[in-house]
Chains A and B, each alone.
Chain A
């Protein structure tokens, strides 16, 4: 593969054309490799059970078995688990966005003793591996009878998250001081300033924060599998365990169909709100 930087401009046209063609070919092959798992998942979801048992392996379903999708709704109580995921994710996302915007405003706009060191502590907890606290929290919450309730998510949501706080802080810091001064002269309290001036301005960050935390809970496996029982758990956990026949054999095609339906919301959010994902990851990347 020919690497070329801006040097292209200095090459004769014919050679540049060839180069571009090669780059497209490389990109297309790579794109296919990245998409292949999705395609195979959908392909498997449409196969008949006898086709799955065939040797050598059957490539494409002879007749698309849409019934697998219907079955994925009944083998496990898909709608109920999806509702659990939806409730938990939207509740957590709302709380974390709200609390993080408050804390972010504090760090961006207010002055207080020890602010610098607090900010430093908060930023260093970004590096704290989450798993270190999750398991001890489970043991602790088990003793407080908080297991198999949604309270842990409420508490985590209220507590704000360093990453989301950082997103808001960066955004609020960039807003001109003149706006704040004008509001203070008009006798506006900081809380009103936050509600009526800063929050309405920060739609892009609110969207980023909400979408990232929503998809996080939707995709999280370990926390619900630890903190919630079989009945109250989220779709992620129910799906990874539930698609079996009476004898514990995995119903591969139904599992695949269920997985398609499970990732679909995330894919839709991604299609319509890609820039918010990107904003989140870029902010986290350039802080170093």
Chain B
């Protein structure tokens, strides 16, 4: 009797479990998997969004994108952007976190100030930085003119690339909070023990703090790779334009992979080709993430008996 009761209970529990998680399961199937599969199917066609007769053209889109100079150029710019911003933002965030983990007064206020930019809406961020870098009304040129220089047009090639990087680095407060939380999770006894053993501040940082913080930094590298490869709103909004946001106004040094995808979809109406580009990006992000995960075994320190 008892085992059948238990069976009934576990059936009830299982049914309830699926009832509770059904919003996510349905959403996952219809709003994540379905669009992805749809894009995959469309990527083998010449669909343009309007005309009814579109055909299966096999791998033609993929072959075309491999031969398109836009693909390689935009990918190169994106990778360059990724290689510059990830280390700078992680190191900057970590630096601020270390500064803010000292025993100082009003640390909370500074923490808020550094964190604030990362929650400012992207449109407002772009407007603020356009005003900083603007040729005629910008703060940067105001300083240059005060020092006797002549105004510079920053938001064009090649300087707009650096403007973009500065704008993105302004939001490194999110990483700072994560590093700060990581620092607070490190037991003080460890660094104190190292100091008693005669280690100086730098040695404590390199030999104790950094290894213990590596899982947190590792997480930031992973999310950094995923985010920077899909960057395109920032370049789009930073582009000089007269009341219209278009990909054609994006200077070539900010012509990132996703800018190209967006252009193919929305301005050239090449849904098939755009979908192929999207799936290649998907594969690239997957490959890069796996690569970083693999590299993790060499530099990420996990305490052996933390779990399992």
Within 8 Å CB of A165, what residues of B? 24
Task: State whether A3 touches B202 (Cβ < 8 A).
Answer: yes
A7 vs B261: C-alpha distance in the bound complex, in angstroms?
A: 52
Residues of A within 8 A of B83 (CB): none
Q: Is A99 an interface residue (CB 8 A)?
A: yes
Interface locus among B66-74, B129-137, B153-161: B129-137
A26 to B95, CA, bound (A): 11
Complex Cα gap A286–B152 (Å): 43
Q: Whole-angstrom distance between the alpha carbons of A118 and B98 in the complex?
A: 38
- Given A57, A139, A255, which contacts B138 in the complex, CB threshold below 8 Å? A57
Does the CB pair B24–A122 fall under 8 Å? yes
The answer to whether B230 and A105 touch across the interface, beta carbons within 8 angstroms, is no
Least CB distance, B164 to chain A, in whole angstroms: 14
A6 near B188 with CB under 8 A, answer yes
Are B123 and A219 in touch, CB under 8 angstroms?
yes
- Using Cβ atoms and an 8 Å threshold, which residues of chain B touch A236? 121-123
A5 at the interface (CB under 8 A from B): yes
Instruction: Looking at the assembled complex, report how far the CB atom of B26 sits from the nearest CB atom of chain A, in whole angstroms.
Output: 7
For the complex, would chain B's binding face be called helix, strand, loop or mixed by DSSP majority? Answer: helix
A155, B178: Cβ atoms under 8 Å? no
Contact A137 to B21, CB < 8 A, known contacts A56-B142, A240-B127: no
Contacts of B243 in A (CB 8 A): 241-244, 248-250
- Whether B119 is near chain A, meaning CB under 8 Å from some CB there, is yes
Tell whether, in the assembled complex, residue A160 and residue B27 are in contact, meaning their CB atoms are under 8 Å apart.
yes
Q: Does A132 contact B (CB under 8 A)?
A: yes
Contact, CB under 8 Å: B36 / A27: no
Say yes or no: B261 contacts A23, CB within 8 Å.
no
In the assembled complex, how far is the CB of residue B189 from the closest CB belonging to chain A, in whole angstroms? 11
Q: Count chain A residues whose beta carbon lies closer than 8 angstroms to a beta carbon of B.
A: 105
Q: Are B174 and A221 in contact (CB under 8 A)?
A: no
Indicate the member of B27, B129, B136 with the most A CB atoms within 10 Å. B27
CA gap between A99 and B24 in the complex, in Å: 8
State whether the Cβ of A83 lies closer than 8 Å to any Cβ in chain B. no
CB distance from B91 to the nearest CB of A (A): 13
Q: Are B216 and A286 in contact (CB under 8 A)?
A: yes
A248 to chain B, nearest CB (A): 4
Restricting to A140-174, which residues have a CB under 8 Å from any CB of B? Answer: 140, 142, 155-156, 158-160, 162, 165
The segment from B57-65, B110-118, B247-255 that touches chain A is B110-118
Kindly state the separation between the CA atoms of A102 and B16 in the bound complex, as whole angstroms: 11
Are A6 and B35 within 8 A (Cβ)?
Answer: no
Counting CB contacts under 8 A, is B25 at the interface?
A: yes
The stretch that binds B, out of A63-71, A199-207, A274-282, is: A274-282
Q: Roughly how many angstroms separate A243 CA and B244 CA in the complex, as a whole number?
A: 10
Contact A4-B242, Cβ < 8 Å, known A115-B17, A218-B121: no
A120 to B289, CA, bound (A): 17
Give, as a whole number of angstroms, the nearest-CB distance from B167 to chain A: 9
Contact B200 A7, beta carbon cutoff 8 Å: yes
* Distance A95 CA – B198 CA, assembled complex (angstroms): 56
Query: Which of B30, B110, B136, B285 is close to A57, meaning CB atoms less than 8 Å apart?
Result: B136
B116 touches A285 (CB 8 A): no
CB distance from A97 to the nearest CB of B (A): 12
> Which among B96, B98, B222, B282 is the interface contact of A129 at CB below 8 angstroms?
B282
Please tell me if B170 contacts chain A, counting CB pairs below 8 Å: yes
Instruction: State whether the Cβ of A112 lies closer than 8 Å to any Cβ in chain B.
Output: yes
Interface contact A111-B138, CB-CB below 8 Å: no
19 contacts between A and B (CB under 8 A): A10-B195, A31-B110, A34-B113, A40-B132, A99-B24, A112-B18, A127-B222, A130-B230, A140-B34, A160-B24, A190-B16, A219-B122, A226-B266, A239-B127, A240-B126, A240-B237, A240-B245, A249-B243, A282-B178
Query: Which B residues contact A (CB, under 8 angstroms)?
Result: 10, 13-21, 23-28, 30-32, 34-36, 38-39, 42, 49, 96, 98-100, 102-104, 110, 112-117, 119-129, 131-132, 134, 136-139, 141-142, 145-146, 151, 170, 173-174, 177-178, 181-182, 185, 188, 191-192, 195, 200-202, 204-205, 209, 215-216, 218-220, 222, 226-227, 229-230, 232-233, 237, 242-245, 258, 261-262, 265-266, 271, 274-275, 278, 281-282, 285, 289
Query: 18 new A-B pairs (CB below 8 Å) besides A6-B188, A102-B20, A270-B119?
Result: A3-B98, A5-B201, A34-B117, A55-B145, A106-B17, A110-B13, A132-B282, A135-B278, A137-B31, A159-B30, A219-B124, A225-B245, A248-B244, A256-B127, A266-B120, A274-B115, A282-B178, A286-B178
